[in-house]
Structure 1
């Protein structure tokens, strides 16, 4: 023991590259003693992010939106202006609300084909009632209640009678579209002063930038949806059902109630989207929003939500809507392309995003 205590201290070993300074003062996480990330480590992190079943698809969507916007800015003069970006929200505010409701449904592994017809029905109800002198303060809540009840009936049909969501919502689509023709076979103009005022109102943001009240409503709906999905038991149950309904039952989650409520939410969002669409068009027409349900589904899928459920984000669906909007804007700036090219590009994007199953299969 005495020899050990009296032995001279061994000379310090030279530090190895990459390990030196680990315990030295001043060498924190960002200090000089920390080895910088290698290019291989960064590449691995990027690959893990892009192939992550949770964050990969929405990350790809964000990159895609930025890339398309940059291409438009390089090709067309004035494309990079702030108002062009804000107009994406102005023109697609109703579709954002529609995509929010569709996100809830698809997260559970379901589908809702009735949303486009419900948008048209909402516009027809609003136009017809306003024409007879009803107050907007009564008409708008009535529309939201009626469309929510329709969603409730669809949800009960799916849960109680075990009808496939595709069939149940297809029936609701035919019902809503038929009711539009019962109300009127022609277009009904909206001349109510409140609706007209909301249609032309602009909210200034400074610097010649402005948005409409519809954009504010859509952003509020998005914020509420994000909070519900990520901060409430209901939201966790929605994800659990998409991950495996049987597992959710074994965990004691309210699966039945949640499955019904997601269709109520979709019906409510469809009614609200219909109201926002009437602000945009100031009319009701039975053929309004034909195919809009496919646009909503495309936006949700492009936004990274898996059709089988369990993975996805509301903000991803918003990005999906913006991707569709920026494609339409580029076609408008081009001036020589038919609007049908939008559908072609959307179809191509959907085929690309179907590959997300391949990218995420090895990470599940």
Structure 2
């Protein structure tokens, strides 16, 4: 019976998410067949455009499994992009040291927020709300104008294509074969995703994260170090925010104040659509990946359709979010009755 509960509650939400993505993509193949939706590059673009969000959603999933939340991630992404642009273009710093500095900045950010949440027991929403305002304000202080990144090494990273010749190619009007491709940012995002999955699934620390989110009092009674676990989760999340910001900057090659506004809500929505419970204790980073892909597929639909406003993406995501929250509530009530 316990095994059946586990399948019904945890895996069923993930299955629904995967099936929803497959149905949506199949619909796109049918509706936009004449516009080239079936090309492998269209699917690969879902990963290219959302590499940063995949990384951030993975970190958000960890935080939400503990029963926490982090609404500062969008502002940290903006701060990361601005710091990279400012250090390389205004201060003449190299791309590598600039990257190291922003990654350390993310760790420090996560350390401070994690300490306030885990050891001072301040509500995660309040702490990360303050973090959101602080990071966005600091971004504006660095520069209120957009700074374009022109550093040669950084642009080389941004433009480095990895051709996937095994998927075949298309011949353009000039007779040149164009192969499907991805960027290194996609490889980094997938490595992070697999790494977090292994961490959560196969390590003692990962099991502790689930235990803390499932029932913090029980975790304490089992002798688990709840405060240290929460602190480390926010530190890892801070690092992933800066890494995701770096991947985001590879796509935009610029830093500006309004960058990644609302990114935190996209990460939370992706995690929830992927089956992560808002109450903690349940979550899977691959579910969050499919949540990101669903969001990317909706954006692709709007692009191929050509006349719809981009705001329809947010409207559709809001509807899906409400649907999955209702599902979570129904499963929770069914479990209580049982």
What TM-score does the superposition give when structure 2 sets the normalisation length?
0.92
In the TM superposition, 1:82-93 aligns within 5 A as: 82-93=40-51
In the alignment, structure 1 residue 200 sits paired with structure 2 residue 159: yes
The match for 1:4 is none
CA distance in 2, matches of 1:213, 1:361: 44
The match for 2:211 is 240
In the alignment, structure 1 residue 96 sits paired with structure 2 residue 54: yes
CA distance in 2, matches of 1:361, 1:344: 27
C-alpha contact (below 8 Å) 1:89/1:215 kept by paired residues: yes
Give the C-alpha shift of residue 311 in structure 1. 0.8
Aligned residues: 317
The match for 1:161 is 120
CA distance in 1, matches of 2:299, 2:256: 23
Instruction: Decide whether aligned partners of structure 1 residues 228 and 50 sit closer, same or farther in structure 2, where only a CA change above 3 A counts.
Output: closer
In the TM superposition, 1:22-171 aligns within 5 A as: 52-77=8-33, 78-131=36-89, 132-171=91-130
The match for 2:261 is 290
The match for 1:187 is 146
The match for 2:173 is none
CA distance in 2, matches of 1:85, 1:255: 40
What TM-score does the superposition give when structure 1 sets the normalisation length?
0.85
In the TM superposition, 1:205-216 aligns within 5 A as: 205-206=164-165, 207=168, 208-216=179-187
- What SS does the corresponding residue of 1:346 show, helix, strand or coil? helix
CA distance in 2, matches of 1:178, 1:202: 35
Larger deviation, residues 320-329 vs 351-360: 351-360
Aligned residues: CA RMSD:
1.3
Give the C-alpha shift of residue 142 in structure 1. 1.1
Give the C-alpha shift of residue 51 in structure 1. 6.8
In the TM superposition, 1:265-344 aligns within 5 A as: 265-344=236-315
More helix by share: 2
Give the C-alpha shift of residue 359 in structure 1. 3.2
CA distance in 1, matches of 2:49, 2:118: 36
After superposition, what is the alpha-carbon deviation per residue over 1:294-344, rounded to whole angstroms, capped at 9, x for unaligned? 000000000000010111101000010001000110011100100000010
The match for 1:351 is 322
Give unpaired runs (5+ residues) of structure 2: 169-178
Larger deviation, residues 198-207 vs 342-351: 198-207
C-alpha contact (below 8 Å) 1:102/1:300 kept by paired residues: yes
CA distance in 1, matches of 2:290, 2:5: 18
